[in-house]
Amino acid sequence: MCHGNSTRASQGGSIAVLRAPQCHLLSSASSSSYLGADEEWRLHFFNRAGTTSSCGTEVTLQGTRSQQRERYKIIIHRDGDLTSAASPTLDECKSRPLFSFSLHPDHYNSTLLPQKLDLGVGDSGIIGRRVSVMTDSGAKPTSVAVGIIGWN
Q: What is the pLDDT of residues 75-85, one digit of tens each?
A: 999 999 888 65
Predicted pLDDT of residue 45: 96
- How far apart CA 112 and CA 6 sit, in angstroms, is 30
CATH number (domain holding residue 72): 2.60.40
Distance from C-alpha of 95 to C-alpha of 102, rounded to nearest angstrom: 16
Overall average pLDDT of the 104-132 stretch: 88
Band of pLDDT at residue 28, cut at 50, 70 and 90:
very low
- Where in 3-152 does DSSP place strands (E)? 14-18, 41-46, 58-62, 72-76, 99-103, 111-112, 130-135, 143-151
Mean pLDDT across the chain: 78
> Among candidates 71, 72, 80, which has minimal Cα distance to 121?
80
More confident: 27 or 144 = 144
Residue 9 lies in a domain: no
Q: Is residue 6 part of a domain?
A: no
User: 104 versus 130: which is more confidently predicted?
Assistant: 130
Average pLDDT over residues 68-77: 83
- In angstroms, the CA 120 to CA 54 distance is 18
**Is 132's pLDDT higher than 60?**
yes
Residue 103 lies in a domain: yes
90 has pLDDT over 60: no
Q: Is position 140 within any domain?
A: yes
Which is more confident, 39 or 91?
Answer: 39
Domain count along the chain: 1
- Range of 33's domain? 14-151
Contact 97, 77 (CB under 8 A): yes
